[in-house]
């Protein structure tokens, strides 16, 4: 595993800037991987790791960067609860741990870098050196990953009887006896112009 500094540098490159969220994401990932016994997430262990991320903020880019997990590989699932948390799962041994950033760490940053007046910079620097116990809450959990969400080839493909789009992995909806995509079933995020 690369050093914290190298991982933060890579995460910053991907994210576009360094920020407290990047530091938290890198630290959270290192801790999560350690707790589920994954030592080579981008190499030997790449098919054994799955991550649920609970926020669509800076830490998510850091988690993706450190773990090598991504939505396209079906190994990173964004479940946006607005919580600075992630659950790291070892698919080989079923170990799973949910790690949440503690809100108190913001104020505790003064204990470690009180000489830095700029709050953002103080937090960024303090988060690099604070003990895990002052940054994170750790919960050992059982993760429930449906077969259709696991990495690998699609387990099912059907054609929408409304628009003709092909729908994979049980994302189809049966409504009034018709197999439909979510859009045709009324669950769309856009409107046609």
- The predicted-structure confidence for 62-73, as pLDDT tens digits, reads as follows 999 999 999 999
Distance CA 85, CA 190 (A): 29
pLDDT in tens, 140-193: 999 999 999 999 999 999 999 999 999 999 999 999 999 999 999 999 888 889
How many angstroms separate the CA atoms of 91 and 77, rounded?
A: 14
Residue 82 confidence (pLDDT): 96
Beta-carbon contacts of 112 under 8 Å, excluding residues fewer than 6 positions away, are: 125, 126, 129, 130
Label residue 39 left, alpha or beta by phi (over 0 means left) and psi (-120 to 50 means alpha).
Answer: alpha
Beta strands in the chain (DSSP E): 49-53, 76-78, 85-90, 96-101, 136-140, 157-159, 166-168, 173-175, 178-180
User: What domains sit in the chain, N to C, each tagged with a CATH number?
Assistant: 4-148 (3.30.1330.130), 154-193 (3.30.60)
Scored b (16 or more CB within 10 A) or e, 8-27 reads bbebbeebeebbbbbbbbbb
| SS3 call for 50 | strand
Per-residue pLDDT tens digits for 7-49: 999 999 999 999 999 999 999 999 999 999 999 999 999 999 9
């Amino acid at each position: 595993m690369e050093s914290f500094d190298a991982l933060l540098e890579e995460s910053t490159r991907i994210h576009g800037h360094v920020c407290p969220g990047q530091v938290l994401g890198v630290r959270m990932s290192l801790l999560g991987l350690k707790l589920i016994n994954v030592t080579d997430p981008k190499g030997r262990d790449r098919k054994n790791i799955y991550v649920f991320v609970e926020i669509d903020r800076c830490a998510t880019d850091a988690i993706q960067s450190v773990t090598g997990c991504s939505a396209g590989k079906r190994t990173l699932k964004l479940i946006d609860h607005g919580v600075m948390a992630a659950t790291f799962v070892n698919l080989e041994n079923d170990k799973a741990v949910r790690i949440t950033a503690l809100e108190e760490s913001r104020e505790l940053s003064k204990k470690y870098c009180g000489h830095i007046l700029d709050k953002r910079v103080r937090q960024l620097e303090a988060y690099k050196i604070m003990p895990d116990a002052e940054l994170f809450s750790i919960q050992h959990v059982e993760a429930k990953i449906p077969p259709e969400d696991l990495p690998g080839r699609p387990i099912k493909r059907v054609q929408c009887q409304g628009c003709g789009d092909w729908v994979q992995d049980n994302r189809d909806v049966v409504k009034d006896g018709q197999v439909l995509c979510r859009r045709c079933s009324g669950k769309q995020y856009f409107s046609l112009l």
